[in-house]
Amino acid sequence: MHLNFENKTYLIMGVANKRSIAWGIAQELDKAGAKLIFSYSKERSAKGLVKLAADLSDLNKEAPMVKCDVTSDEDITTAVTELKEKVGTLNGIVHSVAFANKDFLGDDYSAVDRASFAQALDISAYSFTAIIRAAKLADLLAENASLLTLTYLGGERVIQNYNLMGVAKAALESSVRYLASEYGPTGVRVNAISAGPIRTLSARGVGNFSESQKMVEERAPLRRVTTVEEVGTTAVFLLSDMASGITGENIHVDSGYHIIG
């Protein structure tokens, strides 16, 4: 009964292709009976989304889509206006968006330049706050809405090569706590999922990715890598009323890797 998603609508941000964590979450939400609306930044992602959505249930086969490059205030404003027109109310938002200049995802962290630092923090951390504030101001968020972002252990600890993105994730995780505190009195919950390494487009080509998965297989309590389905089902839980007592939390869906010293 608490997992009842009838007449509930969720915004999914960050589907680049079928491997995206956002797509894994969308599929589980679709199975649970939720209505979906997507946002994208690149036209290529929009085209892919149309094809992907065709495989969803009848409720979401023609799911609406809005453009939102999170670096643009104008895009955020337009997206929120379009969301208001298309769905009226959101019961939740899944923010699965991050970017950092590849030049600073390896070697020495301190090499980072000002522009790349600002860009990584802008896209990967500030955007969560910006979209939530815009949605709230437009009265788009339902009572008890649940807001969710994706993070990685490198935001809490030093993990080789994560560097600039680790600093951005630390800011994102801290934002989750401040946003949860600010919006809690209105019933809105804000949480993060810290996922284990999953082979996606962003992960492809970044140094250390395969080694990171190998480490998980060898050392994580469950001795296997985390699947996107596992992140998806946890997201469904956090977005549902079953998680009504959870806010400001960072749930690790990482085969237990984070407890190992």
Binding site for ligand NDP (CB under 6 A): 14-16, 20-22, 40-42, 45, 69-71, 96-99, 123, 150-152, 195, 197-198, 200-203
- Contact call for residues 14 and 95 (beta carbons, < 8 A): yes
**Nearer residue to ligand NDP within complex by CB, 34 or 165:** 165
**Nearer residue to ligand NDP within complex by CB, 7 or 210:** 210
**Nearer residue to ligand NDP within complex by CB, 14 or 232:** 14
Which of the choices ligand N5H, ligand NDP, none does residue 237 contact, using the CB cut-off of 5 to 8 A by kind? none
> At closest approach, how far in Å is the CB of 73 from ligand NDP?
12
159, 170, 171, 222: residue in contact with ligand N5H (rule CB under 6 A): 159
Which of the choices ligand NDP, ligand N5H, none does residue 161 contact, using the CB cut-off of 5 to 8 A by kind? ligand N5H
63, 100, 132, 192: residue in contact with ligand N5H (rule CB under 6 A): 100
Does 201 bind ligand N5H (CB under 6 A)? Our answer is yes
Enumerate binding residues for ligand N5H (CB under 6 A).
16, 98-102, 105, 152, 154, 159, 161-162, 165, 197, 201-203, 206-209, 212
